[in-house]
Amino acid sequence: MKILVLNGPNLNMLGLREPGIYGSQTYDDLVAFVQQSAQALGMQVDIRQSNHEGELVTCIQQARGTADAIVINPAAYTHTSVAILDALLAVNLPAVEVHLSDVHSREDFRRMSYCARACQHVIAGQGFDGYRTAMAWLKKNRPE
Catalytic residue numbers, as ranges: 22, 99
| Region near ligand DQA per CB under 6 A, out of 50-58, 86-94, 99-107, 136-144 | 99-107
| Region near ligand DQA per CB under 6 A, out of 48-56, 62-70, 75-83, 134-142 | 75-83
Which residues partner with 2 through β-bridges? 44
Give least dist CB 61 to ligand DQA, A.
21
Give least dist CB 94 to ligand DQA, A.
20
Residue 143 CA to residue 120 CA, distance in Å, equals: 12
Which residues partner with 65 through β-bridges? none
* Helix/strand/coil percentages in the chain, nearest 5: 50, 20, 35
Task: Please give the residues from 9 up to 28 whose contact with ligand DQA meets the rule CB under 6 A.
Answer: 10
Beta strands in the chain (DSSP E): 2-7, 44-49, 69-73, 95-99, 121-124
Task: Please give the residues from 102 up to 131 whose contact with ligand DQA meets the rule CB under 6 A.
Answer: 103, 110
Cβ-based neighbour number of residue 7 at 10 Å? 27
Choose which of 5, 6, 100, 119 interacts with ligand DQA (CB under 6 A).
100
49 contributes a contact to ligand DQA by CB under 6 A: no
Give least dist CB 82 to ligand DQA, A.
16
C-alpha separations of 109 from 99, 105, 106, 114, 124 in Å: 14, 11, 8, 11, 15
Judged by the rule CB under 6 A, the positions of this chain that interact with ligand DQA are 10, 73, 75-76, 78, 99-101, 103, 110
